[in-house]
Chain A
Amino acid sequence: MDKPIFQVKGVDVFYGDNHAIKSVNLDIARNEVISLIGPSGCGKSTFIRCLNRMNDTIESARISGEVLLEGEDIYSKEMDVVMLRARVGMVFQKPNPFPKSIYDNVAYGPRIHGLVDTRSDLDDIVKESLQKAGLWEEVKDRLTAIGTSLSGGQQQRLCIARTIAVGPEVILMDEPCSALDPIATAKIEDLIDELREKYAIVIVTHSMQQAARVSQRTAYFHLGEIIEVGDTDQIFTNPKERLTEDYITGRFG
């Protein structure tokens, strides 16, 4: 592997007395999709939220260990959380467009970060982001319509476009398809595959088929620990650990 974009070294997370993540190590490479699988409550979402410090919003959360983004510790004093979240975008489980127009949803990130000076540049970013998210053809005639008026799958692609518009290096996706029907899911999965060319993507999923379809590498979480990390093919066809095998063959879950 080339020099990884994210290096996670011995990270522990506590919610109050609850030890949610136990000394996790993981490298995340550029231009790869890595999926995190595991039973409910195993810490996948907690882990992904460590990568852009969304856990900061939870009062009782404490974290120790190192998370290096391009060699910089994101929990150090020098790392500004606003800067971090501009570089590491996130797509959430439930589509959560702002109750504003489609255009304003996508333009929000570039606006707050001051990425563009002119209206036409902003128009270009919005168009490009919507195109990359595969939504442009569907919404180009109604950019002023409110974002929440779209269907669930469209809303989620709008949220992806909104994330892309900032131009992040990494995109975190926390079960992005769990609220969508199979057709919308297929669209998002195709999109993830295309986005891999430019971004590193970390995706949490409950669907093992989805992990197998979209990711190059897979990490299996169990009770806050990473049991096994490896190429997706290997994990699903020839897991080394007993726990992994039990999970992917459906013996428990």
Chain B
Amino acid sequence: MSRDLKTLVSQGLKSRYRNERIMRSLGVTALLFASGFLLLILSIIFSQGYRAFTQTYIEIPIELSTADIEDISSINFQNKIRDGLRELFPELQARAELADLFRLASRGASIDLERDISSETPPGTINFIALASSDVDMINKGYFVDSESPRGRLSEQQYEYFQSLTDRNLISRQINTNLFLKGDSSYPEMAGVMGAIMGSVFVLGITLFLSFPIGAATAIYLEEFAPKNRFTDFIEVNINNLAAVPSVIFGLLGLAMFINFFGFPRSAPIVGGFVLTLMTLPIVIIASRAAITSVPPSIKEAALGLGASKLKMVVDHVIPLALPGMLTGTIIGMARALGESAPLLMIGMVAFITEIPQTIFSPSTTLPIQIFLWADSPDRGFSERTSAAIIILLVFLILMNLIAVILRKKFEKKW
């Protein structure tokens, strides 16, 4: 009998081990495939985006007379920049040549100059580091080095001026503070993500503020207090269905309800927050319910057995033990909301907005929508910024997921 068992088992052993090996190699292949694509995507984004974190500047001498300092409001900063440029190329006289020259500096240069000069500035000549136009920036970053037209969108003359400036060491690259501190602009060199970040912060703040309490309360009620009957079953099925509804539908709902019916302003973070709350709620509820279910029944019985009321049991034991799971679910829901764009398009958060939003009622966009807007632009300066904005968005997403992991690790109870 035992011999039979031995022969029977050994007959099958070979194919069992072979199947195991096949399964394992399939798994490894799939993993390599997936992580390979991920790496590819990330490397493309980073290789295109990293250059947007620096920006090209031209050093221009600016003459400030005592009269200028005494009455700053009368200074024409645009002309000061132009005078400075003209001083660098005194040989140029023709109007057309000068117009070409002036276009090397960005329109933003005069705004920066205005910001830098105050009544305390000593009169005389200062070397102002002026923002260069996007076309100069592209050349300087070497986008056109190997292409057929190495001067990009610059004219022949402009390219000569640029080379002359380079030879004189007046062209420099510095950290691109505009990218982080400014709102959107139609000039790539002046455009930044701050407006979109503030919009995202407002929208996510509202979403968190609404979806966590409502979702947690719903989950607690459904798990601990609700009677198990047809009605609660129906609600449960529908919560699961809601989690699977495409987000653009929530956008349409928000448009019809919050904007058309309740009259909230278009493009405002408050409406975006409401819409994303609708979208995030099912995720929060499902995650919270899972967290509550995982609280050991023995702990609940212990509390009830001591004479704790149901509410006391929930507040003292269920919530503290379920909270890490609830928070993790909420953060993951938030991360999804941060990356969401379709429902926000429906409620008009896709407008071109240069101002950084100050309140939850001011028009704004969010990071993914900023990416969408910039990706739409044919300008090379914007495509570089698109990648940079994606990197910023990814950093935020990774941060949020990191917080979720840390929370879970920190508050996880061992039994």
A31 to B302, CA, bound (A): 24
Q: Report B-chain residues with C-beta under 8 Å of the C-beta of A14.
A: none
Q: Is the CB of A148 within 8 A of B414?
A: yes
Known contacts: A54-B301, A159-B302. The answer to whether A99 contacts B309 by CB under 8 A is no
Known contacts: A96-B298, A96-B299, A99-B321. The answer to whether A109 contacts B307 by CB under 8 A is yes
Q: Does B413 contact A (CB under 8 A)?
A: yes
Q: Is the CB of A85 within 8 A of B305?
A: yes
Q: Chain A's nearest CB lies how many Å from the CB of B323? A: 12
Known contacts: A85-B306, A109-B307. The answer to whether A96 contacts B301 by CB under 8 A is yes
A105 to B317, CA, bound (A): 12
A163 to B306, CA, bound (A): 7
What band does the interface of chain A fall in when counting residues whose beta carbon is under 8 Å from B?
20 to 34
Q: Chain A's nearest CB lies how many Å from the CB of B299? A: 6
Chain A residue at minimal CB-CB distance from B302: A96
Q: Is the CB of B305 within 8 A of A148?
A: no
Q: Chain B's nearest CB lies how many Å from the CB of A86? A: 4
Q: Chain A's nearest CB lies how many Å from the CB of B313? A: 9
Q: Chain A's nearest CB lies how many Å from the CB of B112? A: 58
Q: Which residues of A, 67-123, contact B by the 8 Å Cβ criterion? A: 82-86, 89-90, 92, 94, 96-99, 108-109, 112-113
Q: Is the CB of A54 within 8 A of B305?
A: yes
Q: Does B228 contact A (CB under 8 A)?
A: yes
A109 to B298, CA, bound (A): 16
Q: Report A-chain residues with C-beta under 8 Å of the C-beta of B321.
A: 99
A152 to B259, CA, bound (A): 60
A109 to B321, CA, bound (A): 19
Q: Is the CB of B302 within 8 A of A98?
A: yes
Chain B residue at minimal CB-CB distance from A56: B304
Known contacts: A59-B228, A98-B317, A99-B413. The answer to whether A90 contacts B305 by CB under 8 A is yes
Known contacts: A99-B321, A148-B415. The answer to whether A82 contacts B308 by CB under 8 A is yes
Q: Report B-chain residues with C-beta under 8 Å of the C-beta of A83.
A: 307
Q: Does A133 contact B (CB under 8 A)?
A: no
Q: Report B-chain residues with C-beta under 8 Å of the C-beta of A98.
A: 299, 302-303, 317
Q: Does B153 contact A (CB under 8 A)?
A: no
Interface of B is mostly: helix
Chain A residue at minimal CB-CB distance from B313: A112
Q: Interface 1/0s, chain A 124-161, versus B by CB < 8 A?
A: 00000000000000000000000010000000000100
Q: Interface 1/0s, chain B 218-235, versus A by CB < 8 A?
A: 000000000110000000
Q: Report A-chain residues with C-beta under 8 Å of the C-beta of B305.
A: 52, 54, 85, 89-90, 92, 163
Q: Report B-chain residues with C-beta under 8 Å of the C-beta of A85.
A: 304-307
A97 to B299, CA, bound (A): 7
Q: Does B21 contact A (CB under 8 A)?
A: no
Q: Report B-chain residues with C-beta under 8 Å of the C-beta of A235.
A: none
Q: Is the CB of B301 within 8 A of A82?
A: no
Q: Report A-chain residues with C-beta under 8 Å of the C-beta of B296.
A: 96
Q: Does B16 contact A (CB under 8 A)?
A: no
Q: Does B336 contact A (CB under 8 A)?
A: no
Q: Does A57 contact B (CB under 8 A)?
A: yes
Q: Interface 1/0s, chain B 283-326, versus A by CB < 8 A?
A: 00000000000001011111111111100100011000100000
A58 to B415, CA, bound (A): 24
Q: Report B-chain residues with C-beta under 8 Å of the C-beta of A52.
A: 305
Q: Is the CB of B304 within 8 A of A54?
A: yes
Q: Does A44 contact B (CB under 8 A)?
A: no
A108 to B321, CA, bound (A): 16
Q: Is the CB of A82 within 8 A of B307?
A: yes
Chain B residue at minimal CB-CB distance from A162: B306
A-B contact pairs, 26 of them (CB 8 A): A52-B305, A54-B304, A82-B309, A83-B307, A84-B307, A85-B304, A85-B305, A89-B306, A90-B305, A92-B298, A92-B302, A92-B305, A96-B302, A97-B302, A98-B303, A98-B317, A99-B299, A99-B413, A108-B303, A108-B306, A108-B308, A112-B307, A148-B414, A148-B415, A162-B306, A166-B307
A: which residues have CB within 8 A of B? 52, 54, 57, 59, 82-86, 89-90, 92, 94, 96-99, 108-109, 112-113, 148, 159, 162-163, 166
B: which residues have CB within 8 A of A? 227-228, 296, 298-309, 312, 316-317, 321, 413-415
**The 3 residue pairs across chains A and B that have the minimum distance between CB atoms:** A85-B307, A96-B298, A86-B307
Not counting A90-B301, A113-B307, a sample of 13 additional A-B residue pairs whose C-beta atoms are within 8 angstroms of each other reads A54-B301, A54-B305, A57-B301, A57-B304, A59-B227, A82-B308, A85-B306, A92-B298, A92-B302, A97-B302, A98-B303, A99-B413, A112-B312
